[in-house]
Structure 1
Amino acid sequence: MSMMGQYLRLTPAEFERALHDPDWAARYAHEPHDRQDATADTRVHETDKAWHALDFLLKRRGFPVDVVFGEADMPWPEGEDWGYGPPRLLTADRVRAAADALDAHTPDTLTDGVTPADLAAANIYPQIIWERGEEPDWVAAHWSDLAKYLREASRQGDAILLWIS
Protein backbone atom coordinates (compact mmCIF):
# COMPACT_ATOMS: atom_id res chain seq x y z
CA MET A 1 0.00 0.00 0.00
CA SER A 2 1.30 3.44 -0.93
CA MET A 3 1.43 6.38 1.42
CA MET A 4 -0.32 9.46 -0.02
CA GLY A 5 -0.38 13.08 1.12
CA GLN A 6 -4.00 14.22 1.57
CA TYR A 7 -5.51 17.70 1.97
CA LEU A 8 -8.97 19.03 2.73
CA ARG A 9 -9.89 22.70 2.68
CA LEU A 10 -12.25 23.82 5.44
CA THR A 11 -14.32 26.98 5.44
CA PRO A 12 -14.35 28.89 8.74
CA ALA A 13 -17.65 27.22 9.72
CA GLU A 14 -16.37 23.75 8.74
CA PHE A 15 -13.15 24.41 10.65
CA GLU A 16 -15.11 25.22 13.83
CA ARG A 17 -17.23 22.11 13.41
CA ALA A 18 -14.17 19.91 12.79
CA LEU A 19 -12.49 21.19 15.96
CA HIS A 20 -15.40 19.97 18.08
CA ASP A 21 -16.59 16.93 16.16
CA PRO A 22 -13.83 14.59 14.97
CA ASP A 23 -16.35 12.01 13.75
CA TRP A 24 -17.94 14.57 11.45
CA ALA A 25 -14.50 15.69 10.21
CA ALA A 26 -13.50 12.11 9.39
CA ARG A 27 -16.74 11.50 7.48
CA TYR A 28 -16.39 14.83 5.68
CA ALA A 29 -12.81 14.05 4.68
CA HIS A 30 -13.39 10.47 3.57
CA GLU A 31 -16.89 10.57 2.11
CA PRO A 32 -17.19 13.06 -0.77
CA HIS A 33 -21.00 12.92 -0.73
CA ASP A 34 -20.89 14.65 2.67
CA ARG A 35 -19.46 17.74 0.98
CA GLN A 36 -22.52 19.46 -0.41
CA ASP A 37 -21.11 22.56 -2.08
CA ALA A 38 -20.64 22.84 -5.83
CA THR A 39 -16.86 23.03 -5.46
CA ALA A 40 -16.46 19.86 -3.38
CA ASP A 41 -13.94 18.33 -5.77
CA THR A 42 -11.71 21.43 -5.58
CA ARG A 43 -11.67 21.29 -1.79
CA VAL A 44 -9.60 18.09 -1.74
CA HIS A 45 -6.07 17.57 -2.98
CA GLU A 46 -3.44 14.87 -2.87
CA THR A 47 0.27 14.84 -3.50
CA ASP A 48 0.41 11.12 -4.21
CA LYS A 49 3.72 9.63 -3.07
CA ALA A 50 5.56 12.96 -3.51
CA TRP A 51 4.73 14.13 0.04
CA HIS A 52 8.03 13.07 1.63
CA ALA A 53 10.19 14.51 -1.15
CA LEU A 54 8.16 17.73 -0.99
CA ASP A 55 8.80 17.95 2.73
CA PHE A 56 12.54 17.34 2.25
CA LEU A 57 12.90 19.81 -0.63
CA LEU A 58 10.77 22.56 0.93
CA LYS A 59 12.65 22.36 4.23
CA ARG A 60 15.92 22.42 2.30
CA ARG A 61 14.77 25.64 0.60
CA GLY A 62 13.56 27.18 3.87
CA PHE A 63 9.86 27.28 3.07
CA PRO A 64 8.28 29.01 6.10
CA VAL A 65 5.16 26.84 6.52
CA ASP A 66 4.90 23.07 6.94
CA VAL A 67 2.52 22.39 4.06
CA VAL A 68 3.17 18.64 4.11
CA PHE A 69 2.44 17.68 7.71
CA GLY A 70 0.64 20.77 9.00
CA GLU A 71 1.60 22.87 11.97
CA ALA A 72 -1.02 22.22 14.62
CA ASP A 73 -2.53 19.14 16.17
CA MET A 74 -6.26 18.84 16.18
CA PRO A 75 -7.72 18.95 19.72
CA TRP A 76 -9.20 15.49 19.42
CA PRO A 77 -9.06 12.39 21.57
CA GLU A 78 -5.74 10.58 21.60
CA GLY A 79 -5.50 7.75 19.12
CA GLU A 80 -7.26 9.47 16.20
CA ASP A 81 -5.68 7.94 13.11
CA TRP A 82 -6.46 8.62 9.46
CA GLY A 83 -3.96 6.22 7.94
CA TYR A 84 -0.49 7.02 9.20
CA GLY A 85 -1.32 9.07 12.25
CA PRO A 86 -3.81 11.79 13.05
CA PRO A 87 -4.66 14.65 10.72
CA ARG A 88 -2.96 17.96 11.39
CA LEU A 89 -3.95 21.49 10.60
CA LEU A 90 -2.94 24.66 8.84
CA THR A 91 -5.05 27.55 10.09
CA ALA A 92 -6.31 30.10 7.58
CA ASP A 93 -3.55 32.48 8.72
CA ARG A 94 -0.85 29.86 8.04
CA VAL A 95 -2.41 29.01 4.68
CA ARG A 96 -2.17 32.70 3.84
CA ALA A 97 1.48 32.76 4.96
CA ALA A 98 2.19 29.76 2.72
CA ALA A 99 0.50 31.40 -0.25
CA ASP A 100 2.47 34.60 0.36
CA ALA A 101 5.74 32.63 0.24
CA LEU A 102 5.02 30.77 -2.99
CA ASP A 103 6.60 33.27 -5.38
CA ALA A 104 9.97 32.82 -3.67
CA HIS A 105 9.72 29.02 -3.92
CA THR A 106 8.78 28.25 -7.50
CA PRO A 107 8.42 24.68 -8.80
CA ASP A 108 11.20 25.14 -11.36
CA THR A 109 13.75 25.77 -8.58
CA LEU A 110 12.50 23.17 -6.10
CA THR A 111 14.76 20.36 -7.31
CA ASP A 112 17.77 22.47 -8.36
CA GLY A 113 20.98 20.79 -7.26
CA VAL A 114 19.20 17.66 -5.97
CA THR A 115 19.95 14.28 -7.48
CA PRO A 116 18.16 10.98 -7.08
CA ALA A 117 21.19 9.84 -5.07
CA ASP A 118 20.64 12.74 -2.63
CA LEU A 119 17.03 11.66 -2.07
CA ALA A 120 18.01 8.00 -1.70
CA ALA A 121 20.74 8.92 0.80
CA ALA A 122 18.20 10.94 2.80
CA ASN A 123 15.88 7.88 2.85
CA ILE A 124 13.06 9.80 1.16
CA TYR A 125 9.88 7.81 0.46
CA PRO A 126 9.43 6.07 -1.94
CA GLN A 127 13.12 5.28 -1.77
CA ILE A 128 13.05 2.64 -4.50
CA ILE A 129 12.46 5.24 -7.24
CA TRP A 130 15.47 7.29 -6.15
CA GLU A 131 17.61 4.16 -5.96
CA ARG A 132 16.61 3.43 -9.57
CA GLY A 133 17.87 6.91 -10.48
CA GLU A 134 14.55 8.47 -11.43
CA GLU A 135 14.74 12.25 -11.53
CA PRO A 136 12.68 14.20 -8.96
CA ASP A 137 11.00 16.37 -11.63
CA TRP A 138 7.59 14.82 -10.90
CA VAL A 139 7.87 16.23 -7.37
CA ALA A 140 8.07 19.74 -8.83
CA ALA A 141 4.85 19.06 -10.76
CA HIS A 142 3.14 18.10 -7.51
CA TRP A 143 4.49 21.29 -5.92
CA SER A 144 2.99 23.33 -8.77
CA ASP A 145 -0.43 21.72 -8.19
CA LEU A 146 -0.18 22.14 -4.42
CA ALA A 147 0.77 25.80 -4.88
CA LYS A 148 -2.42 26.40 -6.90
CA TYR A 149 -4.42 24.65 -4.20
CA LEU A 150 -2.83 26.77 -1.45
CA ARG A 151 -3.45 29.99 -3.37
CA GLU A 152 -7.14 29.17 -3.78
CA ALA A 153 -7.49 28.15 -0.12
CA SER A 154 -5.88 31.44 0.89
CA ARG A 155 -8.12 33.43 -1.45
CA GLN A 156 -11.17 31.78 0.12
CA GLY A 157 -9.92 32.20 3.70
CA ASP A 158 -9.89 28.43 4.27
CA ALA A 159 -7.95 26.32 6.76
CA ILE A 160 -6.57 22.94 5.65
CA LEU A 161 -6.55 19.50 7.24
CA LEU A 162 -3.55 17.39 6.17
CA TRP A 163 -2.78 13.71 6.69
CA ILE A 164 -0.91 10.80 5.19
CA SER A 165 -3.09 7.87 4.16
Structure 2
Amino acid sequence: MSMIGEYARLTATELDRAVREPEWAEKFVDELIEAEPDEGAEASEARCHDTDKAWHALDFLLRRIQFPVDIVHGEEEIRGAEDWGYGPPRYLTPERVRGAAEALAATTSDSLVTGITSADLARANIYPSIIWERGESLDYVISHYKALVPFFQAAARDGEAMLVWLD
Protein backbone atom coordinates (compact mmCIF):
# COMPACT_ATOMS: atom_id res chain seq x y z
CA MET A 1 0.00 0.00 0.00
CA SER A 2 1.33 3.42 -0.96
CA MET A 3 1.28 6.60 1.06
CA ILE A 4 0.23 9.55 -1.10
CA GLY A 5 0.32 13.23 -0.05
CA GLU A 6 -3.10 14.78 -0.78
CA TYR A 7 -4.41 18.37 -0.88
CA ALA A 8 -7.78 20.03 -1.33
CA ARG A 9 -8.39 23.76 -1.71
CA LEU A 10 -11.33 25.05 0.34
CA THR A 11 -12.96 28.43 0.61
CA ALA A 12 -12.98 29.96 4.09
CA THR A 13 -16.66 29.03 4.39
CA GLU A 14 -15.96 25.44 3.36
CA LEU A 15 -13.09 25.23 5.85
CA ASP A 16 -15.29 26.53 8.65
CA ARG A 17 -17.87 23.85 7.87
CA ALA A 18 -15.18 21.16 7.56
CA VAL A 19 -13.86 22.02 11.02
CA ARG A 20 -17.37 21.96 12.50
CA GLU A 21 -18.55 18.89 10.54
CA PRO A 22 -15.66 16.51 9.80
CA GLU A 23 -17.99 13.92 8.25
CA TRP A 24 -19.20 16.54 5.76
CA ALA A 25 -15.58 17.41 4.93
CA GLU A 26 -14.75 13.84 3.92
CA LYS A 27 -17.80 13.56 1.67
CA PHE A 28 -17.18 17.01 0.19
CA VAL A 29 -13.53 16.27 -0.59
CA ASP A 30 -14.52 12.94 -2.16
CA GLU A 31 -16.90 14.90 -4.42
CA LEU A 32 -14.15 17.38 -5.30
CA ILE A 33 -11.81 14.54 -6.23
CA GLU A 34 -14.49 12.88 -8.34
CA ALA A 35 -15.21 16.18 -10.12
CA GLU A 36 -11.57 16.68 -11.17
CA PRO A 37 -11.01 15.95 -14.86
CA ASP A 38 -9.51 12.53 -15.57
CA GLU A 39 -6.66 14.15 -17.46
CA GLY A 40 -5.92 16.40 -14.51
CA ALA A 41 -6.51 20.13 -14.51
CA GLU A 42 -3.75 22.69 -14.58
CA ALA A 43 -2.44 23.10 -11.04
CA SER A 44 -3.71 26.68 -10.97
CA GLU A 45 -7.27 25.53 -11.72
CA ALA A 46 -7.47 22.26 -9.78
CA ARG A 47 -9.19 22.03 -6.42
CA CYS A 48 -7.33 18.83 -5.53
CA HIS A 49 -3.71 17.83 -5.92
CA ASP A 50 -1.38 15.07 -4.82
CA THR A 51 2.35 14.75 -4.48
CA ASP A 52 2.28 10.99 -4.92
CA LYS A 53 4.98 9.35 -2.80
CA ALA A 54 7.22 12.43 -2.92
CA TRP A 55 5.58 13.87 0.20
CA HIS A 56 8.21 12.56 2.63
CA ALA A 57 11.16 13.77 0.55
CA LEU A 58 9.44 17.15 0.20
CA ASP A 59 8.98 17.29 3.97
CA PHE A 60 12.66 16.43 4.51
CA LEU A 61 13.86 19.04 2.02
CA LEU A 62 11.53 21.78 3.26
CA ARG A 63 12.42 21.20 6.92
CA ARG A 64 16.10 21.28 5.99
CA ILE A 65 15.71 24.85 4.70
CA GLN A 66 13.44 25.80 7.62
CA PHE A 67 10.41 26.41 5.41
CA PRO A 68 8.01 28.58 7.44
CA VAL A 69 4.79 26.58 6.85
CA ASP A 70 4.18 22.84 7.19
CA ILE A 71 2.70 22.32 3.73
CA VAL A 72 3.27 18.56 3.80
CA HIS A 73 1.32 17.69 6.95
CA GLY A 74 -0.76 20.80 7.57
CA GLU A 75 -0.71 22.74 10.80
CA GLU A 76 -4.12 22.49 12.43
CA GLU A 77 -5.96 19.28 13.22
CA ILE A 78 -9.59 18.77 12.32
CA ARG A 79 -10.75 17.47 15.66
CA GLY A 80 -13.07 14.52 15.54
CA ALA A 81 -12.23 13.65 11.93
CA GLU A 82 -11.94 10.01 10.99
CA ASP A 83 -8.74 8.53 9.61
CA TRP A 84 -8.50 9.46 5.91
CA GLY A 85 -5.82 6.89 5.19
CA TYR A 86 -2.90 7.54 7.51
CA GLY A 87 -4.52 9.73 10.09
CA PRO A 88 -7.07 12.52 10.05
CA PRO A 89 -6.74 15.51 7.73
CA ARG A 90 -5.11 18.70 8.87
CA TYR A 91 -5.43 22.17 7.42
CA LEU A 92 -3.81 25.48 6.66
CA THR A 93 -5.80 28.69 7.07
CA PRO A 94 -5.99 31.11 4.13
CA GLU A 95 -3.35 33.26 5.85
CA ARG A 96 -0.95 30.30 6.16
CA VAL A 97 -1.64 29.30 2.55
CA ARG A 98 -0.73 32.84 1.51
CA GLY A 99 2.49 32.65 3.56
CA ALA A 100 3.30 29.27 2.04
CA ALA A 101 2.70 30.56 -1.48
CA GLU A 102 5.04 33.50 -0.88
CA ALA A 103 7.73 31.22 0.52
CA LEU A 104 7.28 28.75 -2.33
CA ALA A 105 7.69 31.56 -4.88
CA ALA A 106 10.99 32.48 -3.21
CA THR A 107 12.27 28.88 -3.11
CA THR A 108 13.55 27.50 -6.39
CA SER A 109 13.61 23.78 -6.94
CA ASP A 110 17.39 24.02 -7.35
CA SER A 111 17.77 25.64 -3.92
CA LEU A 112 15.53 22.97 -2.44
CA VAL A 113 17.84 20.13 -3.47
CA THR A 114 21.23 21.86 -3.40
CA GLY A 115 23.75 19.62 -1.69
CA ILE A 116 21.34 16.69 -1.37
CA THR A 117 21.63 13.34 -3.16
CA SER A 118 19.48 10.25 -3.25
CA ALA A 119 22.03 8.68 -0.88
CA ASP A 120 21.20 11.39 1.67
CA LEU A 121 17.51 10.52 1.40
CA ALA A 122 18.29 6.82 1.75
CA ARG A 123 20.39 7.49 4.88
CA ALA A 124 17.53 9.53 6.34
CA ASN A 125 15.15 6.63 5.62
CA ILE A 126 12.89 8.82 3.48
CA TYR A 127 9.82 7.09 2.02
CA PRO A 128 9.83 5.32 -0.40
CA SER A 129 13.33 4.29 0.61
CA ILE A 130 13.74 1.74 -2.18
CA ILE A 131 14.02 4.43 -4.87
CA TRP A 132 16.65 6.36 -2.95
CA GLU A 133 18.59 3.18 -2.18
CA ARG A 134 18.67 2.50 -5.95
CA GLY A 135 20.23 5.94 -6.43
CA GLU A 136 17.42 7.42 -8.51
CA SER A 137 17.59 11.11 -9.27
CA LEU A 138 15.74 13.78 -7.35
CA ASP A 139 13.84 14.74 -10.52
CA TYR A 140 10.79 12.90 -9.20
CA VAL A 141 10.67 15.13 -6.12
CA ILE A 142 11.47 18.28 -8.09
CA SER A 143 8.61 17.63 -10.53
CA HIS A 144 6.16 17.32 -7.65
CA TYR A 145 7.53 20.44 -6.01
CA LYS A 146 7.16 22.39 -9.25
CA ALA A 147 3.51 21.29 -9.54
CA LEU A 148 2.79 22.19 -5.91
CA VAL A 149 3.95 25.80 -6.31
CA PRO A 150 1.19 26.96 -8.73
CA PHE A 151 -1.38 24.97 -6.78
CA PHE A 152 -0.59 26.93 -3.62
CA GLN A 153 -0.28 30.20 -5.52
CA ALA A 154 -3.76 29.74 -6.99
CA ALA A 155 -5.20 28.96 -3.57
CA ALA A 156 -3.52 32.05 -2.12
CA ARG A 157 -4.74 34.21 -5.00
CA ASP A 158 -8.29 33.02 -4.33
CA GLY A 159 -8.02 33.43 -0.54
CA GLU A 160 -8.47 29.72 0.07
CA ALA A 161 -7.51 27.35 2.85
CA MET A 162 -5.99 23.93 2.32
CA LEU A 163 -6.80 20.47 3.66
CA VAL A 164 -3.78 18.16 3.80
CA TRP A 165 -3.66 14.41 4.47
CA LEU A 166 -1.82 11.19 3.67
CA ASP A 167 -3.81 8.51 1.89
TM-score by length of 1: 0.91
SS in 2 for 1:67: coil
CA distance in 1, matches of 2:69, 2:28: 25
Match of 2:52 among 33, 48, 52: 48
Per the TM alignment, residue 91 of structure 1 is displaced from its structure 2 partner at its CA by: 0.5
Post-superposition Cα deviations, 1:105-162, rounded to whole Å, max 9, x if no partner, equal 1112211111111000000000000000001121011111101100000000000000
CA distance in 2, matches of 1:22, 1:142: 28
CA distance in 2, matches of 1:101, 1:111: 16
Post-superposition Cα deviations, 1:70-118, rounded to whole Å, max 9, x if no partner, equal 01111325xx200000100101010011111123211122111111110
Per the TM alignment, residue 61 of structure 1 is displaced from its structure 2 partner at its CA by: 1.2
- Verify the 8 A CA contact 2:105 2:149 in the aligned structure 1: no
Post-superposition Cα deviations, 1:24-63, rounded to whole Å, max 9, x if no partner, equal 1001112337869xxxx61000000000000000111111
Q: Is 146-155 or 136-145 further displaced after alignment?
A: 136-145
Q: Does 2:26 align with 1:22?
A: no
CA gap of 1:33–1:145, structure 2 versus 1, over 3 A, is closer
TM-score by length of 2: 0.90
SS in 1 for 2:61: helix
AA partner of residue 30 (structure 2): H
Mark the runs of 5 or more structure 2 residues left unpaired by the alignment: none
CA distance in 1, matches of 2:11, 2:47: 10
CA distance in 2, matches of 1:33, 1:96: 23
Per the TM alignment, residue 22 of structure 1 is displaced from its structure 2 partner at its CA by: 0.9
SS in 2 for 1:59: helix
Q: CA RMSD in A?
A: 1.8
AA partner of residue 82 (structure 1): W
Count of paired positions: 160
- Verify the 8 A CA contact 2:118 2:132 in the aligned structure 1: yes
CA distance in 1, matches of 2:47, 2:72: 16
Q: How does 1:139-154 map to 2 (within 5 A)?
A: 139-154=141-156
Match of 1:75 in 2: 79
Match of 2:158 in 1: 156
CA distance in 2, matches of 1:85, 1:95: 21
CA distance in 1, matches of 2:111, 2:33: 38
CA distance in 1, matches of 2:35, 2:12: 15
